[in-house]
Chains A and B, each alone.
Chain A
Amino acid sequence: MFIVNYIKEVFGAIKSLLIGMRRTGYYFTHHKEIITEQYPDNRNTLVMADRFKGEVVLTHDEQNEHACTGCTACELACPNATIKIVTKFDITPEGKKKKAIDKFVYHLELCTMCNLCIVACPTDAIKMAQTFEHSVYDRNELIKILNKPDSKIRAGIE
């Protein structure tokens, strides 16, 4: 009986190896599926998911106007002190003082893309962009001022 069991065991072992080899052989001969993204080569055709969190941007329209009121809700929501908003006071035509943003400073090097600032924004002024190639030679280049020069707050947003 011992010898029968031994032979059974040996053949069972060989069979198990052959089953695995058959699967490997199948993929060796059926290599139609290409899963790997050929990244630097497919740069022009690469489509990122529309919710992909790449970096925070302040959206501007054609008139170079944005919707940021300088309420600092995003600054308070950020866990890493990524956002710093510097405000100034504009004089409206009626002669009143109005708070507006001077600089929207965004530290990309500290950002973890947690999306909390976007959720906190009451006027949907900021959003996540789908860019992801953030490598630079100097870390100071990662400190960005998001509002474009001479941009204004869109009329009607309080």
Chain B
Amino acid sequence: MFRETEILKTGSQILPIKQNLEGAGDFVINVGPQHPATHGVLHLVITLNGETIKKVEPHLGYIHRSIEKMCERLNFRQFIYVTSRMDYLSAHINNHACAMCVEKGMQLEVPDRAQVIRVIMDELTRIASHELWWGAMAMDIGAFTPFFHAFREREKINEIMEETCGARLTMNYYVPGGLMADLHPNFQKKVKEFITLFKLKIDEYDELVTGNIIFINRMKGVGILSKEDAVSYGCSGPAARGSSVSNDIRKLYPYAVYDKVQFDEILETGCDSLARYMVRIREMKQSIHIIEQLIDNIPEGEFQAKTKAVLKLPKGEFYSRVETARGELGVYIVSEGATTPYRIKFRSPGFSNLSALDKMARGSKLGDLVAMMGTLDLVIPDIDR
């Protein structure tokens, strides 16, 4: 590759650019690791030909905390809290996957009340996550106001979480066998208030951003990911559903009480950034629909199954998966019969979705890269773990 350093080496004598040299005329730039549009420490090395992207190479490892290795030291009660730090925007859903995997191994029956509350919490988390994404997405594209609109509603969810779980982001509310504490007395009232408020506000989102001609022109036909590519790169969640790949774990492999509630799997056929955007907007409405069905029907009873003080999983391998706000999260535990997992592996949605970025970006302009990255909804600690 023809680099600046080579010019410096030759001193005052400037070599003519050799056209036949591989990579000659290319321009390599770094986006990140400290770049506002990457929402974290994502480092993209982009090879450009003029303004056209030839190659995108994500460099990872800036926020690697070896969570999988850490979990091997912690026992089956303790390791759940660490997973809140992976995909911190859907902390509840991550905890749900881990708690479910341990319950599967121990063959614990989770009380109905806990199952229903878990689903409500998951869907609230999904709305909060999509709202943050919506604000950040619009901000990436250049609209500043939507960010405040999104955070205004997200604050309401955070207040609900703070009241019941005691924290706003990394709640650690799920334990193997149920929940850590019962619902706060105000929970149902507050959630109902939020539902009525959110139904009014989501139309504002459409007015502000979805219908906007500048926004549509920036998003339409950008970042094409065909159905075949979405499958072969292992994309999941809204990123794949925008390419009409049916992969909603809540529908295909129902867990908790998802088989008892009515909701639609959102599929869009656009395959572009706008399709992925529309999936998330419509998914928020579905989440509200799920919460509406459950909030008045929380069964009475125990919120936690009786468990021993020390949890031990039998020897074997256990896998569970959930649909987080970004896609499929899989938790794979290998147990040797001890109190700590022998090996633990997380299949995080962000990693696979990011791998499709190179395919999407090739041949398009550098300015569109942000529009593609935004719709993948990347959370870097989830990719790096």
The interface of chain A, by Cβ under 8 A from chain B, is: 12-13, 16-17, 19-20, 22-24, 35, 49-53, 73, 77-79, 112-116, 119-120, 128
- Give me the 10 closest cross-chain CB pairs, A-B, nearest first: A13-B213, A79-B78, A51-B166, A114-B81, A53-B166, A114-B172, A16-B213, A49-B162, A49-B163, A16-B211
User: Is B378 close to A, CB under 8 A?
Assistant: no
> Quick check: A20 and B211 within 8 Å, CB to CB?
yes
Given A17-B212, A19-B207, A114-B81, A51–B145 Cβ distance below 8 Å?
no
Other-chain contact of A115, B145, B163, B180 (Cβ < 8 Å): B180
CB-CB nearest in chain A for B165: A51
Docked complex Cα distance between A116 and B82 (Å):
12
Chain A nearest CB from B89 CB (Å) reads 18
**Chain A residues whose CB sits within 8 angstroms of the CB of B94 once the complex forms:** none
Docked complex Cα distance between A49 and B155 (Å):
14
CB-CB nearest in chain A for B213: A13
Docked complex Cα distance between A49 and B159 (Å):
8
The interface of chain B, by Cβ under 8 A from chain A, is: 74, 77-79, 81-82, 145, 152, 155, 159, 162-167, 170, 172, 175, 180-181, 184, 204, 207-209, 211-214, 216, 309
**Chain B residues whose CB sits within 8 angstroms of the CB of A50 once the complex forms:** 163
**Chain A residues whose CB sits within 8 angstroms of the CB of B181 once the complex forms:** 51
Docked complex Cα distance between A52 and B155 (Å):
15
Chain B nearest CB from A107 CB (Å) reads 16
Q: Could you jot down 21 A-B contacts, CB within 8 Å?
A: A12-B213, A16-B212, A17-B214, A19-B207, A19-B211, A23-B208, A24-B145, A35-B152, A35-B155, A49-B162, A51-B163, A52-B162, A53-B167, A77-B77, A79-B79, A112-B170, A114-B81, A115-B166, A115-B172, A119-B180, A120-B309
Docked complex Cα distance between A123 and B264 (Å):
47
> Quick check: A51 and B164 within 8 Å, CB to CB?
yes
**Chain B residues whose CB sits within 8 angstroms of the CB of A51 once the complex forms:** 162-166, 181, 184
Chain A nearest CB from B230 CB (Å) reads 29
Docked complex Cα distance between A51 and B180 (Å):
12
Chain A nearest CB from B95 CB (Å) reads 11
> Quick check: A77 and B213 within 8 Å, CB to CB?
no
Chain B nearest CB from A22 CB (Å) reads 8
Chain B nearest CB from A42 CB (Å) reads 15
Docked complex Cα distance between A114 and B166 (Å):
9
CB-CB nearest in chain A for B204: A23
Docked complex Cα distance between A116 and B95 (Å):
14
Docked complex Cα distance between A24 and B147 (Å):
13
**Chain B residues whose CB sits within 8 angstroms of the CB of A73 once the complex forms:** 309
Other-chain contact of A79, B74, B152, B159, B209 (Cβ < 8 Å): B74
In addition to A22-B207, A115-B180, 6 A-B residue pairs with Cβ atoms within 8 Å of each other are: A19-B211, A20-B209, A49-B166, A79-B82, A112-B170, A114-B172
Chain A nearest CB from B212 CB (Å) reads 5
CB-CB nearest in chain A for B81: A114
**Chain B residues whose CB sits within 8 angstroms of the CB of A112 once the complex forms:** 81, 170
> Quick check: A77 and B78 within 8 Å, CB to CB?
yes
**Chain B residues whose CB sits within 8 angstroms of the CB of A115 once the complex forms:** 166, 172, 180
Other-chain contact of A20, B155, B172, B212 (Cβ < 8 Å): B212
Docked complex Cα distance between A98 and B262 (Å):
60
Docked complex Cα distance between A23 and B204 (Å):
7
**Chain A residues whose CB sits within 8 angstroms of the CB of B207 once the complex forms:** 19-20, 22-23
Chain B nearest CB from A1 CB (Å) reads 21
Docked complex Cα distance between A115 and B175 (Å):
11
CB-CB nearest in chain B for A128: B166
Chain B nearest CB from A31 CB (Å) reads 12
> Quick check: B74 and A52 within 8 Å, CB to CB?
no
Chain A nearest CB from B369 CB (Å) reads 25
> Quick check: B166 and A52 within 8 Å, CB to CB?
yes
Chain B nearest CB from A135 CB (Å) reads 18
Most interface-central of A20, A53, A112, A113 (chain B CB within 10 A): A20
Chain B nearest CB from A126 CB (Å) reads 14
Given A35-B152, A49-B162, A51-B181, A116–B212 Cβ distance below 8 Å?
no
Chain A nearest CB from B170 CB (Å) reads 7
Chain A nearest CB from B176 CB (Å) reads 12
**Chain B residues whose CB sits within 8 angstroms of the CB of A22 once the complex forms:** 207
Chain A nearest CB from B99 CB (Å) reads 13
Given A79-B78, A119-B180, A113–B212 Cβ distance below 8 Å?
no
**Chain A residues whose CB sits within 8 angstroms of the CB of B209 once the complex forms:** 20
Docked complex Cα distance between A22 and B81 (Å):
44
Chain A nearest CB from B308 CB (Å) reads 13
Chain B nearest CB from A134 CB (Å) reads 15
**Chain B residues whose CB sits within 8 angstroms of the CB of A77 once the complex forms:** 77-78
**Chain A residues whose CB sits within 8 angstroms of the CB of B164 once the complex forms:** 51
**Chain B residues whose CB sits within 8 angstroms of the CB of A12 once the complex forms:** 213
Chain B nearest CB from A82 CB (Å) reads 12
